[in-house]
A = this chain, B = another copy of it.
Amino acid sequence: MKIGVVIPAAGQGKRMGTKKSKQFLMLEKKPIFIHTLLVFENYPAVSEIVVVTKKEEIAEVERLIRHYGIQKVTHVIEGGRERQDSVYEGLKYLHTDWVMVHDAVRPFVTPTALDRLLRIIPNGRAAILAVPVKDTIKQVDRDGNVEQSLDRSKLWAVQTPQLFERKLLWEAHQLAKEQNLAVTDDAMMVEQLGITVQVVLGEYNNIKLTTPEDLILAEAICKACKAR
């Protein structure tokens, strides 16, 4: 089984409050996105990786990929305006039957979690990593009043990677483009096609690094799991 990976890395780092795109920030002496790429580089089922980034950062991304000896990245390409546009561009360069989409700034995904995700093949067509929500979540109206307390036992916080049959995800992206759908993840596009998306237990440490607080936690996670 061969699996392709799209890594959208065209984020602005606005919430991080830095000039540099957040994926370039250093974590234990390596840029964050290099940690992320190394997970897939070392995961046997992955055969090709496409990194999608801002035009002005392509050269720097390519240089770092060479510097850290990463072999599986076949293309570093220019992204679109929104995350979903970047994923769409990335999909054009993959040839595998299956594809994973994974955030560049989510470096703590483990091979164990990837193993669990891939177990839906061949019976499922789409699956995501997620963890049960620990907080009480309320639905709030525009005036800042509680509309509804949600049933926490059914709520999961979505992570990446998200795994799809490549052709299914392509079809879903085209539908989303045609219909101008606002979506927050790739799974949501596939849901729009009426396809069942399976939820696979992820790990709480598989955080997305988007704020300065996240970076503090990331350093702590790094120190806790010395293996890295």
Contact = CB atoms under 8 A, between A and B. Distances in A.
A211 B217 CA distance: 14
Interface string A197-228: 11110001100101101001101110010000
Could you tell me the dominant secondary structure of chain A's interface residues?
mixed
Interface in A149-195: 149-150, 152, 154-159, 183-185, 187-188, 191
A138 interface: yes
Q: How many copies of this chain?
A: 2
A98 to B, nearest CB: 18
A156 to B, nearest CB: 5
Closest 10 CB pairs of A and B: A135-B157, A136-B158, A216-B220, A146-B197, A136-B184, A149-B188, A217-B217, A220-B220, A140-B199, A140-B156
Interface of A: 128, 130, 133-141, 144-147, 149-150, 152, 154-159, 183-185, 187-188, 191, 196-200, 204-205, 208, 210-211, 213, 216-217, 219-221, 224
25 contacts: A130-B138, A134-B208, A134-B210, A135-B159, A136-B184, A136-B188, A137-B137, A137-B157, A138-B199, A139-B154, A140-B154, A140-B155, A140-B156, A140-B199, A141-B154, A144-B199, A145-B196, A146-B197, A146-B198, A147-B154, A149-B184, A149-B191, A150-B150, A205-B213, A217-B220
